[in-house]
Amino acid sequence: MTGKRIALVTGGNRGIGFETCRQLAHAGLEVFLASRQRGEGEQAAQQLQAHGFAVKPLQLDVSDSDSVARCLAGLARSGVEIDVLINNAGVYPTTPITDASEQEFALALQVNLLGAWRMAKAVFPGMLQRGYGRIVNVSSGLGQMNQPGGPGAGVYGISKAALNALTLELANAARGDIKVNAMDPGWVATRMGGRGAPRKPEEASITIIWLATLPPDGPNGGFFLDKRPLEW
Ligand SMILES: NC(=O)c1ccc[n+]([C@@H]2O[C@H](COP(=O)([O-])OP(=O)(O)OC[C@H]3O[C@@H](n4cnc5c(N)ncnc54)[C@H](OP(=O)(O)O)[C@@H]3O)[C@@H](O)[C@H]2O)c1
């Protein structure tokens, strides 16, 4: 391989996504920082560019198939092929399943499940053609099925359990040097995790970077926390 690997991080403007952009760029990848709000993505990318990192902003709403198509078409027109996809964008509606509105449930699935699927579907053919790809789905321990009572946190947990199932489906479809894995960041101090969370985005992103840069003999179709396998 000549040239830098190219990565795209969804929800890259803040939290774990922003730190993941920083660590990927630090590891030598060219990074597209995708954000739902154009201005926030530009600001976030500028912060990283100021430190000399190769990070470019992109507008992308993963819940909108037109936005995904526009974004990928724009990249293709510029000759950009995505080697590494980090499906990080997420929403956190935790309403118990018997109280949730149809709107809340639909939003959790639109962003956390279908958003990741749309993005993977868009980049997968190119990865198959080039015989290389890394997809990291930022999931959650709340999606684990082996916990007493199954997934926790209402519609959010269900959306992450489904994201884990998507990870396995994609991993089964992988050929050549393509690897699709899911990870649990743990409880992290971000807008989603709240200030009281014990972990920093830096700690969570280490495992994302590891999965994004796995060697050819690395795992495919796994679920990890701090680089250690987790039960589904
Ligand atoms: N923090 C935790 O404790 C924790 C634990 C387990 C798993 N996770 C997972 O880690 C990931 C990152 O979470 P975080 O803690 O960094 O949360 P965060 O600070 O709330 O960031 C969420 C990101 O997702 C973006 N986003 C939401 N809907 C989107 C959409 N439709 N299209 C594109 N981007 C969208 C947000 O964009 P806007 O700024 O425009 O809203 C923001 O950039 C999520 O998938 C989350 O479920 C977090």
* Per-residue three-class SS string for 208-221: HHHHHCCCCCCCCC
- Examine residue 209 and state whether it is found in any structural domain, yes or no: yes
Full domain range(s) for residue 143: 6-229
Does the residue 177 lie in any domain?
Answer: yes
Q: How far does the centroid of ligand 1 lie from the alpha carbon of residue 14, in Å?
A: 8
Please give the mean pLDDT across all residues of the chain: 96
**pTM of this prediction?**
0.97
Residue 197, phi then psi, degrees to nearest 5: -65, 145
95: Cα separation from own chain's centroid: 23
Q: Which of 10, 13, 16 to mutate to test the pocket of ligand 1 (most atoms within 8 A of CB)?
A: 16
- Classify residue 1: in a domain, yes or no: no
Summarize pLDDT for 101-123 with one digit per residue, the tens. Answer: 999 999 999 999 999 999 999 99
Report residue 199 as tokens: 């972990």
Alpha-carbon distance 16 to 51, whole Å? 18
Residue 98 Cα to ligand 1 middle (Å): 24
CA distance 144 to 150: 7
CATH number of the structural domain spanning residue 223: 3.40.50.720
Q: Is residue 114 part of a domain?
A: yes
For ligand 1, residues with CB inside 6 Å are 10-11, 13-17, 35-37, 40, 60-63, 88-91, 111, 115, 138, 140, 185, 187-188, 190-193, 197
Contact 132, 83 (CB under 8 A): yes
Q: Evaluate whether residue 160 is within a structural domain.
A: yes
Would the CA dihedral through 142, 184, 227, 224 be positive or negative? positive
Active site residues: 156
Q: Is residue 151 scored above 80 in pLDDT?
A: no
- Burial (CB count within 10 angstroms: exposed 0-12, middle 13-18, buried 19+), residue 104: middle
| pLDDT for 73 beyond 60 | yes
pLDDT band, very low/low/confident/very high, at 149 (cuts 50, 70, 90): low
Number of domains in the chain: 1
The tokens of 189 are what?
A: 């101090």
The amino acid at residue 215 is P
| E strand segments, 61-126 | 84-87
